[in-house]
Every structure is written in C-alpha cells, then in structure tokens.
Amino acid sequence: MSGTHKKLGARHKARKRAVDFLFEAEARDLDPVDLATERADLSGKDDSVAPVAPYTVTVVTGVAENLDRIDEVISSHLQDWTLERLPAVDRAILRIAVWELFHATDVPPVVAVDEAVELAKQLSTDESPGFVNGILGQVVLVAPQVRSAAAATSRRAETAGGESTDAGS
C-alpha cells in the first residue's frame, strides 16, 4: 500500500488509534496516557496486541496535557450545544484535531481538519463529518495565533532559564 491512497497512511491509523484510546479512557474513567502507554508496552510483549504508533502516544499525551484548553476552545464554538452532549467519539475526534491545529506544527491545518472529517465518516454518525468540519472550520481561524503564542512562550522559557536543565520534566 504505497503513497497512492494517502488517507490510510501511518498517521491516519495513528490518529484512529488515538481516538480509540481517548474514547476507551473516557468510557472506563482511566487516564488516557496510562492506557496508551500500557497498551504500547503490552504490544511489545504480546503479539496479539496491535502495535501502538509513537504518534498515537504523542497525540493522546498532547490532548491529555492540554485538555482543559482544548475543551474550552471546542465548547466556545458549539452553538446551543455542550461538549458533554456530543457523542464521545466526536469529542475524541475534535480534541485530537484541535490539539493538532494548536500544537502539531508539522501537520498543516488543512490536513488536521481533513483527517478529523475522515475519522468522523469512518467512526461516527452521518451528521458528524459536517458537524466536525463546521467546528474545525472556525477553530482553524484562531489556530495561527495560538501556535505563534505557544512558540513565543516556549522561546521565552528557553531564554529566561539561561542554561537548560531537565529538572522541570
């Protein structure tokens, strides 16, 4: 399966798996990062457990670390609706896309949106792709400012610290 059908590439599969982990963690009230990490470890020991792509763990960790901000952004774009009322799978898809729009500088915004819509087509209701596209179409407009603010903050942190230490991580 070479590059002809890009949509089903490694990153797409990694995002789909991230949706699964976020969905499962929420349903079972587990920490999504622990779940993804444990599943990745298990897949190394047990061939019956599908391997977990590094990008899946990156996405799940990114969403978990920025969850309040991500949910705030999604909620602010839901007219007459609440995040809690969304189908859990749509919530997971939107959280991943918003994280990518704000933090994954190697993912072009159009790709983050297209991937989210594609996942909604595969995993959710008939209304979901249009709904996801509508929400993300608004979030895309604020994403560049958020990305540059985040970059400026991390640059300030690096320069303010003088010599870099890993004590904070």
Which one-letter amino acid corresponds to residue 49? V
Q: How confident is the model at residue 165 (pLDDT cuts 50, 70, 90)?
A: very low
Q: For 108-125, what is each residue's pLDDT tens digit?
A: 999 999 999 999 999 999
Q: Is the pLDDT of residue 5 over 50?
A: no
The overall average pLDDT reported for the chain is 88
DSSP label of 92: H
Structure pTM?
A: 0.85
* pLDDT average, residue stretch 133-137: 96
Q: Does domain 9-159 have CATH number 3.30.470.10?
A: no
3 state DSSP class of 147: helix
**b/e burial code for range 105-144 (CB count within 10 A of at least 16 → b):** eebebebbbbbbbbbbeebbeeebbebbeebbeebbeebe
Q: What is the pLDDT of residue 81?
A: 86
3 state DSSP class of 48: coil
CA 6 to chain centre: 19
CA atoms in the 13 A half-sphere facing the CB of 25? 22
